[in-house]
Structure 1
Amino acid sequence: MPRLSVIMPARNAGATVESAVRSTLHDLPADAELVVGDDASTDGMRYVLDRIEDSRLRVIDCPGRGLARALNTLLDATDSPLVARMDADDIVIRGRFRRQVRALATADTVFTTVTTWRGSGMPRPAWPVAIGEGAFGFHLLLTNPVAHSTMAARRTAIDEAGGYRDVPSEDYDLWLRMQSRGAGMRRLAAPGIVYRVHARQVTATDGWRLSSWQDESTQHAFADLSERLLGAPQMRISALAIAPFSRGEKLARMAEFDRSFRAAVRLVPLPARTALLRRLAARSEWLWQRSDTAPGMIGAAT
């Protein structure tokens, strides 16, 4: 049984999957595997995968199941104690899995920062800032601070939270539920992947953002975590921006969230607390600008 399984759902990723798979295999430890779930690709992706000869690579069929169910299928097809995510259009940076496996000795879930590449020019690394376990849950109440494809976790932490659910933000929804159960979650400062940004990404569309912000299951998970950390259930800031409330009520609810958040993070050490308060101010400004925006004109995602 491998110690680590990297799961990669893929559909029509023939143009990028080879670099994603080869970079993953190049960085994998010997006691690990990469399992790719092919969602009925029609662009020759399977042919590309068949040409890669490595005993640590497995390809299984996940046709027409959607991302969340494909991820759960990949989890069910593996039995390693550690699980990591990878996307078929990203590239692993050397040392990623070694650093994450080492960090999982004292944590339940470990992410990394990313180097962003828009397909032309040089990739741009993010500012290398770590997020510790004491601050991670508070970041989740403001926005999703991590890329899904940087995750590495203990399988038990995913299983105990119930795995992935079929919701628009299946990753963020899972992080909320894991954190509500007290999972130790952190982000390492060093980038673990080159993250490709392109127009075909589902998360680049306004329709996806709107459906994510309106999703009731994710809102319930958010309310549970906010009750745990802030003492009372709160509404997601992004959901509040498009809620059918008056501008005054939206800003009043945000003011209540602001007060509760500031009180709760007083115990977070500096400079992590400073980063959280800076992010809180940015989210307050975002809501101020969009609190009376029509749902069809939601603006940039944050």
Structure 2
Amino acid sequence: MPLISVIIPVYNGENTIRETIESVLNQTFKDFELIVINDGSTDSTLDVVSNIQDSRLKVFSYPNAKQAASRNRGLSQATGEYVSFIDADDLWKPDKLEAQLKALQENPEAGVAYSWTDLIDESGNFIRGGANIYWQGESYARMLLNDFVESGSNPLIRAQAIKEVGNFDESLPPAEDWDMWIRLASRYPFVVVPSAQVLYRVRANSSSTNVSKMEAVSLRIIERAYAEAPASIQHLKRHTLGNRYKYLVFKALEEPPVRQKALTAIRFLWQAFIYDPVLLRRRIIWKVLLRIAIIVLLPSKLAQTWLNKFKQFTDILTLVILIRVDIVPAQR
């Protein structure tokens, strides 16, 4: 029986699935099974996968049911003591599994090991690094404040821990990852591998670009999580909401520029001010407002040209850096 089960949900991933699978098969750690869940693909995904010869590769096909359901279907087939997921367009560095497994074996009380993430574009070119948050140990409050794991392609998880907290909630895309990490953090410590081992591909049509849906689902997750959280951390709720709205502003204004999303960003920014009034005094707000103005007032192609030309004045990455993951003492 393999020590690790790796699960790849894929829907119409013919352009990237081979590279993703190869990044798993080329891991320095070899004792794993690779479970590909074909989620009703209508392109040549199955043909691409069938041409990859490796005894560790197992393929299961189902009617289309979206990513969370596909991950749960993968869990039903998994036999490993540890489980990891990778989306069909993301990549792993070769030592990802080895380093995370070592971290969990050296910290037997931990249920989850996570690494740092780099963002790449659709062609595989580096865009920027992730948040690179270093945190180990009890992680419940910090995970409530912000999803510092950053993607579903990141963690290695003890299978027993998932059995205890339950499967992915299929009603919560595109934020079902955060919900799962919150539930895991409520019971298990986390351990970090401080190295960028996950390459997250930013795609214009990914589910995470539907910012209005992400807002609605995020609010559901926050309400449910704080309904179950102890009284000692209830004071963090407004910080969680402030953090989430900062993140939503950033997501709404990511490239390519879309006028409707920029208009939505105005509402998100107002909510961020409500929950974090200090944000009004930050210089980054002027960059955010300028970026919104360019996207709203100019045609898409011209807006992109201006954003590139005046990048120094429209780069809003600092907004993500302002997301708080420190523990704020309760007010007396």
Q: TM-score, normalised by structure 1?
A: 0.75
Residues in 1 aligned to 2:56 and 2:244: alpha-carbon distance in whole angstroms:
46
Tell whether 2:80 aligns with 1:76.
no
Report 1:250-261 matches (<5 A): 251=274
Paired position in structure 2 for 1:263: none
Residues 76 and 102 of structure 1: CA distance in aligned 2, closer, same or farther (over 3 Å): same
Provide Cα deviations, 1:134-155, integer angstroms capped at 9, x if missing partner. 4743432322112210111101
- Contact 1:3/1:81 (8 A) holds in 2: yes
Q: Give SS of 2:205's match.
A: coil
Per-residue deviation, 1:171: 0.7
Q: Give SS of 1:104's match.
A: helix
Paired position in structure 2 for 1:261: none
Paired position in structure 2 for 1:150: 154
Letter in 2 for 1:202: S
Residues 188 and 125 of structure 1: CA distance in aligned 2, closer, same or farther (over 3 Å): farther
Letter in 2 for 1:142: L
Paired position in structure 1 for 2:181: 175
Letter in 1 for 2:185: Q
Paired position in structure 2 for 1:159: 163
Residues in 2 aligned to 1:239 and 1:219: alpha-carbon distance in whole angstroms:
14
Q: Unmatched 5+ residue regions in structure 2? A: 246-263, 290-295, 297-315, 321-332
Tell whether 2:189 aligns with 1:189.
no
Letter in 1 for 2:54: D
Provide Cα deviations, 1:18-37, integer angstroms capped at 9, x if missing partner. 00001111116332111010
- Contact 2:29/2:95 (8 A) holds in 1: no
Report 1:205-216 matches (<5 A): 205-215=210-220
- Contact 1:158/1:178 (8 A) holds in 2: yes
Residues 222 and 43 of structure 1: CA distance in aligned 2, closer, same or farther (over 3 Å): farther
Q: TM-score, normalised by structure 2?
A: 0.69
Identity of aligned residues (%): 25
Residues in 1 aligned to 2:280 and 2:139: alpha-carbon distance in whole angstroms:
16
Per-residue deviation, 1:119: 3.0
Residues in 2 aligned to 1:282 and 1:189: alpha-carbon distance in whole angstroms:
29
Letter in 1 for 2:153: S
Q: Unmatched 5+ residue regions in structure 1? A: 256-280, 291-296
Residues 283 and 41 of structure 1: CA distance in aligned 2, closer, same or farther (over 3 Å): farther
Tell whether 2:67 aligns with 1:67.
yes
- Contact 1:117/1:197 (8 A) holds in 2: yes
- Contact 1:213/1:238 (8 A) holds in 2: no
Per-residue deviation, 1:284: 10
- Total equivalences in the alignment: 263
Provide Cα deviations, 1:52-92, integer angstroms capped at 9, x if missing partner. 00000001113222222221111011121100111110111
Paired position in structure 2 for 1:202: 207
Residues 56 and 230 of structure 1: CA distance in aligned 2, closer, same or farther (over 3 Å): same
Provide Cα deviations, 1:79-137, integer angstroms capped at 9, x if missing partner. 21100111110111111110011011112101111121113584145268452224743
